[in-house]
Structure 1
């Protein structure tokens, strides 16, 4: 029977040797490195089932190593645990939201570290068994979008259970917020996949008599968006006239959320998003969403489709690339018109014509 492999990264020699001896006794195959760069050198030819890593190290620290692994297709689904003496809530929150699977605090108990390792490796084995059958688009992006929020939820819960007697109310609240953020991200991914499957298989009827008040729906959606983009309210400038249009509130909310989220995501923090909406005639209502971000080239615009993402690694995208495709599809199936004009560096303008009631 093959042994599970563990990579241990820590600059303290005595601690490395102690943990290695402990895990070897538990029938794991263990390799060690004294910093992130040594770990990367090992990972070029040896792929573990779990990585345990200190945060503060010379040459390359744990955060940098994790960032590189997260963006490496052959490595980014490997469970990654930080081994640290620090008990800083803010640091933990950032690491959890970035996709770290958990923490082992120094000094640790032998039973504790063995239990955590067994749990993470068992979960990784299950993921490896199903990920070849359940994904859309590039496999690494799907696995990343499922694993990252799921790890944030599970690791936060683990820490709440383990440290419940030492955490104060403020720290507990931060963990709850972290769980909520991760849960909403996972829910959004799964709902988009379900919507894609329903549209692909013609399970949604777009020829109903649903209608929405666009200004009210826009205000509600904007409020939801700023639950994610904290303290960024000034980034959106809008002038949206009241009107009732022929699309369900659910579909309109989805379209507005996805397109505004994209505009914010692809724009620098110092750039505003301009949104305007007005009734242009008896037949149509015009909505324009304009950003001043990175923009798309003509070649990229031609490729807009399901799971299409452009230079994801450089732009730190989240999501599966479904939002723009689904929005365009829903608009057109609702007898609307969708156009997009974009230039590199200058930004992107999306113009939508919704049928009036």
Structure 2
């Protein structure tokens, strides 16, 4: 069985440009669905989730910016990379798209090789994060005796319960050890107490979401299971010495610099 192709949704109203991009992406071994405006794309995306979305910014009926803002309200699209294609990118427009949370830009006219590199880079970055946080399924059939296996099992449970308010009592029950034994093993292996390890694990996940393009602090709070936005923000600042909002601005500025 061959490797599954990456699924791309292309939204472009220029027929000549759209057909050229479509042809070259297919030749580059991507599976592509091409739609001519944001309204049609929104309807399509209600039933289909691609690996990446590439959209023109200025289109009739519904443009790329409006489409992006609409689909990002749906949690299942929060981690889908979104690349904007545009011929008009003055600073105000560019900064607004970055603030919204788009993952990358490509300016018309462009070489398709540039677009293909950007697609591969953003997908590779997303996959690397997923590999870090999704445990190897074979670990489930491994006898968990070593220190490495213990941390793997612990992280596996935390990944599955990121949105919940899981505590040490629940963790110890799921790992079939006592609360005190769990805390001692975490301290021995990580030099952190159990509560600190759980909190920082969740914060590291939030940081990766920000680096992927997430800008909504309430969403980050909900996704990582913190009791409140204020507690999330306080914990984040204590961990990185910078507030979530300032860290988001820092990441945005780095992206802007890379585009100049």
What TM-score range do you get, normalising by the shorter chain?
0.5 to 0.7
CA positional deviation for 1:151:
4.4
Match of 2:20 in 1: 18
Structural RMSD (CA): 3.4
CA positional deviation for 1:52:
0.5
CA positional deviation for 1:122:
1.1
Match of 1:115 in 2: 117
Quick check: which has more Rg, 1 or 2? Answer: 1
Is the aligned partner of 1:322 residue 2:253?
Answer: no
Structure 1: distance between partners of 2:42 and 2:6: 19
CA positional deviation for 1:107:
0.3
Match of 1:350 in 2: none
Which of 211, 214, 236 matches 1:150? 211
Is the aligned partner of 1:37 residue 2:63?
Answer: no
Which of 77, 80, 88 matches 2:79? 77
Between Structure 1 and Structure 2, the one with more helix by share is 2
Q: TM-score, normalised by structure 2?
A: 0.56
Match of 2:226 in 1: 307
CA positional deviation for 1:145:
4.8
Cα pair distance change 1:60/1:112, threshold 3 Å: same
CA positional deviation for 1:147:
5.2
Match of 1:27 in 2: 29
Structure 1: distance between partners of 2:106 and 2:226: 36
Q: TM-score, normalised by structure 1?
A: 0.41
Confirm or deny: 8 A CA contact 1:307 1:320 kept in the other structure: no
Cα pair distance change 1:142/1:106, threshold 3 Å: farther
Structure 2: distance between partners of 1:77 and 1:131: 14
Structure 2: distance between partners of 1:129 and 1:24: 27
Count of equivalent residues: 168
Cα pair distance change 1:131/1:24, threshold 3 Å: same
CA positional deviation for 1:320:
8.2
CA positional deviation for 1:322:
2.3
